[in-house]
Structure 1
Amino acid sequence: MLKLTGISKGFAGVQALSGINFDVRAGEIHALVGENGAGKSTTIKIIAGALQPDAGEIAFDGKVVSWSGPADAKAAGIHVIYQEFVLFPHLTVAENIFLGHERRGRFGLIDHDRTRRDAADLLQRLGVAIDPDKIVSELTVADQQMVEISKALVHKVKLLILDEPTAVISGREADLLFARLAALKAEGVAIVYVSHRLEEIFQIADRVTVFKDGAHVATTDIGDVNRERLISLMVGRDLKDIFPPKRGTGGGKVTLKAENVSVAGRVRNASLELRAGEITALAGMVGAGRTEFAMAIFGGLPASSGTVWIDGEQVGMLSPAQSIRRGMGFVTEDRKGQGLAMLLDVAANVTAADLDAVTRRGVIDRRRENQIAREEIEKYRIACRGPSTPVATMSGGNQQKVIVARWARTSRKVLVLDEPTRGVDVGAKTEIYRIMRQLADDGIALLMISSELPEVVGMADRVVVMREGVVSGELAGAAINEAAIMRLATQHPSAAGSHP
């Protein structure tokens, strides 16, 4: 269906692509993987007509083509679904699906009845029950994604490209997406699937292509490669284990104890202990109440009951400001919406939780702020031009390291990390894991919330598992494995054992 031969592209002296070869067959899911900066996004833009290659040839559906713009590629049957959806939130589902291709009746007026009927037909083809008259802003993220795919079906899509489609969904919603992609594949649609989540690649892809530093590294059938080999191809070095050695359990004192914490409708009488020098994982299925439990401990959500002790002192339920003053930090799962100030630079973001350190007589001392930022950039190996680099221009992995650097400066006792490696590449994950282990070795108690079981098993000294708002059990040391976690995550709450 698609064949790229010798594609090259440069920007202001930087070579983004060097002689890329890539092909996709009709009726297959072809995964495209690589670290940030590998050339995936540039390749997608060239396929979609948003960029013109400096050299090379594009063949689509048996013909050599040269797109003058995205409209040409879309008219030919190429549709891209980006991580940030291109939807109008205040329009209906049907209006979004046919925007620019409105169903019209007599006198050129929009035929709203036909628009709704045709939208319903497309949604039914995808096997989803979404009301065509519903306002898009009222939909879940997963349903918005289905609306995006429905837009592609309007154009009789031949090639569908998905860029990090599960960055904003997981669990059952991701499984439903995979089922829809399988149905499209069965209809002969060629699918390019870009994701950092390697377990998804092995679950749904037929073939996988690896890019590194703008060059093609390898293309192979998914059955001919394992996870370790794929990681090695992506990072360019042998990586038997991306996780740093564990320190073990039993040595650290209890830094934080939370007992019988409840959040109305979300969490019921949940308890845990965090020990200095340990990484404790909070595991469970999506919707288990993990984030709500951690937010209640930190003070970000109101708790209907519960008590917290810090270093043996009963402190009750704190506010976020009180938690920060007592040496706690919280890295949220939504780095762009809740974590970073996207319009500010690295220096401002690094010091945001500790303005007293850079304020003199009520005015921010930029020289001091930049000095601190330079120290953190070096300490955490943040790839940027310097303290004045806008965070919006940085990769996801480096943005995440900026947030971790911010909270590590103030988190003297406890640091909560909610999905700390979501949406970052394997190389950046390895760096974040190293940082987390170093913080633990420095005596901080870490609480990691993660939906990736390999990450939980690889990083956690102890695992507290939740199901439907209840702590269903705890694992430590050699007892930590994916099967044991899943048993606790899926057992009925009434079967949950007591938690100390």
Structure 2
Amino acid sequence: MSTPLVEARGVAKRYGPTVALQDGRLTVLPGESHALVGRNGAGKSTLVTILTGLQAPDEGTVSFDGEPAPPLTDRDAWRRKVACVYQKPTVVPELTVAENLFINRQPTGRGGLISWRRLRSEAADVLATWDVRVDPEARTADLKVEDRQMVEIARALSFGARFIVLDEPTAQLDNREIERLFTRMRALQESGVTFLFISHHLQEVYEVCQTVTVLRDARWITTAPVAELPRPALVEAMAGEAIAERAAVRDTAPDDAPVVLRTEGLTSDAYDAIDLTVRRGEVVGLAGSSASGKIELAESLAGLYRPTGGTARLDGERLPFGDVQAALRAGVGCVPRDRHEQGLVSGMTIGDNATMSVLNRLGRYGFIATDRRREFADELIDRLDIHAEGPDQPVSDLSGGNAQKVVMARALASDPRLLILINPTAGVDVKSKESLLSRVDSARDDGTAVLVVSDELDDLRRCDRVLVLFHGRVVAEHPAGWHDHELIASIEGVDHGYGISPGGQPRTPGRGERGPGG
């Protein structure tokens, strides 16, 4: 066996009484894609901060190519060893690609001034070397997410690093973008680049990785070749117990149940002539690619945008558009697509975040009854099984799964007649996902009309029926019990005259957890 490119042994890290990592182990061989998986709070992020030189371990060792890791103060040495591409880009959006590639190390000419000609030329050479096909003079903010990620990878490679950590790189990508990322990863592997791949989408591990390491409860659990670890065994290693499969088909809302939401001819730049209904106690899914218009449609119904035509009625009353507060008062609750940017106020507590949509119920004449708010927040924490110290804990302290539960708690706090969920389980672990989806079942049982917009097949399995949008129009409807390949074919446009993959068959990516939508 060759010398490991990266090796961590017996790594431990504590923050006061909190043990963030107790027995971190990792052995990554040159040229492989190595998956690091585990539930939120398993220790993955802590291990990454140690592997990238942001923190020193309290115990244990880290080595690169058999040599001890550099001192934390030698940042240039760390940059030559490793880089991390995070879910949120770290590029400066208003700078050009070339400026981002050489930020703080711009080539200079006479008088110490920046040589813009050399900067553009050297940036073009770096991009060409690693086959990153973007314009070095393009403003980075104008790039697609996948291209921004490749710019970050190229920047790391330009320092000499050949070990790249990809932290949830597919979270904001649709299926085609994911496949392009994986193709680029494979090409870079052939050029001698090694990846540590972190994802909650386990099928992606099977698609792109050769080896997987599992952490659980701050400890190393196992490292195994991906081909030798079936998915049920991987889930069990992550969760510490077997996760039972849920039945895909359940009792659906009766045909005579009253219609809660009805849209007629709803139209905007992103979607066209949308007619749909959601009945009391019914869960309807919206699926489609990133360009399908499904998210824009849901956000319009939640009050974020104003359509250019058509109508929507909630229990017979016109639904207000372009006014989130008015939509909330009308009976719409929403879990937005990005909990960081749209769902949470990070500087506030769990209680503040969970109750901000119902402050009018917690006091009179503009004054909030503190005890009543605390009591209400405690009820929401119990109802959503949020693992926290209490309502006064900062929401920024929570893991991704518990933070998403706070967003869900706020959406449910107002007892909405229509609940809109946009990518409700994005970036959460297996158990948190199951807990969040159980809230969908509870809402159905309570008679709430639910609209689920998701890229996750497991989210859509909870639905009584799934509508597929393609280029802004509803092109298919699948009742509960659909097969993966049927839904994927509709999303890809292969079953309604929009083309098929080479060989004449629908190309199914095999994602057990994730569909090809964006």
TM norm structure 2: 0.90
Between 1:30-39 and 1:159-168, the stretch displaced more is 159-168
In the superposition, relative to structure 1, how do residues 73 and 38 fare at CA in structure 2: closer, same or farther (>3 Å)? farther
Matches within 5 A, 1:135-174: 135-174=139-178
User: What is residue 484 of structure 1 aligned with on the other side?
Assistant: 486
Distance 1:26 1:138 in 2: 34
Aligned residues: 492
Q: CA-to-partner distance for each residue in 1:465-498, whole Å, 9 max, x for gaps?
A: 11000000111123x12111122223379759xx
Structure 1 residue 352: deviation in Å?
A: 1.3
Query: Does the alignment pair 1:467 with 2:480?
Result: no
* 3-state DSSP of counterpart to 2:13: strand
8 Å CA contact 1:258, 1:297 repeated in 2: no
Distance 1:368 1:431 in 2: 26
User: What is residue 123 of structure 1 aligned with on the other side?
Assistant: 127
Distance 2:51 2:77 in 1: 8
8 Å CA contact 1:295, 1:301 repeated in 2: yes
* 3-state DSSP of counterpart to 1:267: coil
In the superposition, relative to structure 1, how do residues 393 and 140 fare at CA in structure 2: closer, same or farther (>3 Å)? same
Q: CA-to-partner distance for each residue in 1:144-169, whole Å, 9 max, x for gaps?
A: 21221121111122211111112222
8 Å CA contact 1:48, 1:70 repeated in 2: no
Give the residue type in structure 1 aligned to 2:215. F
In the superposition, relative to structure 1, how do residues 442 and 56 fare at CA in structure 2: closer, same or farther (>3 Å)? same
* 3-state DSSP of counterpart to 2:272: strand
Query: Does the alignment pair 1:96 with 2:100?
Result: yes
* 3-state DSSP of counterpart to 2:273: strand
Give the residue type in structure 2 aligned to 1:228. P
In the superposition, relative to structure 1, how do residues 307 and 4 fare at CA in structure 2: closer, same or farther (>3 Å)? same
Distance 1:70 1:40 in 2: 23
* 3-state DSSP of counterpart to 1:351: helix
In the superposition, relative to structure 1, how do residues 495 and 360 fare at CA in structure 2: closer, same or farther (>3 Å)? same
Q: CA-to-partner distance for each residue in 1:307-331, whole Å, 9 max, x for gaps?
A: 22333x2526545334322321121
Which of 256, 260, 264 is residue 261 of structure 2 equivalent to? 256
Q: CA-to-partner distance for each residue in 1:55-86, whole Å, 9 max, x for gaps?
A: 22222112233532461552442111122322
Distance 2:24 2:359 in 1: 47
Distance 1:112 1:432 in 2: 51
8 Å CA contact 2:64, 2:81 repeated in 1: no
Which of 227, 231, 234 is residue 227 of structure 1 equivalent to? 231
User: What is residue 449 of structure 1 aligned with on the other side?
Assistant: 453
In the superposition, relative to structure 1, how do residues 250 and 125 fare at CA in structure 2: closer, same or farther (>3 Å)? farther
Distance 1:216 1:488 in 2: 41
Structure 2 portions without partners, runs of 5+: 499-518
Q: CA-to-partner distance for each residue in 1:185-223, whole Å, 9 max, x for gaps?
A: 111111101111112111111111110011111111111
Distance 2:235 2:40 in 1: 13
Q: CA-to-partner distance for each residue in 1:10-60, whole Å, 9 max, x for gaps?
A: 220222222222110111000000011101111111111111112222221
User: What is residue 501 of structure 2 aligned with on the other side?
Assistant: none
In the superposition, relative to structure 1, how do residues 298 and 285 fare at CA in structure 2: closer, same or farther (>3 Å)? same
Structure 1 portions without partners, runs of 5+: none
In the superposition, relative to structure 1, how do residues 491 and 80 fare at CA in structure 2: closer, same or farther (>3 Å)? closer
* 3-state DSSP of counterpart to 1:128: coil
8 Å CA contact 1:309, 1:316 repeated in 2: yes
Structure 1 residue 415: deviation in Å?
A: 0.1
Which of 192, 199, 202 is residue 203 of structure 2 equivalent to? 199
In the superposition, relative to structure 1, how do residues 70 and 203 fare at CA in structure 2: closer, same or farther (>3 Å)? farther
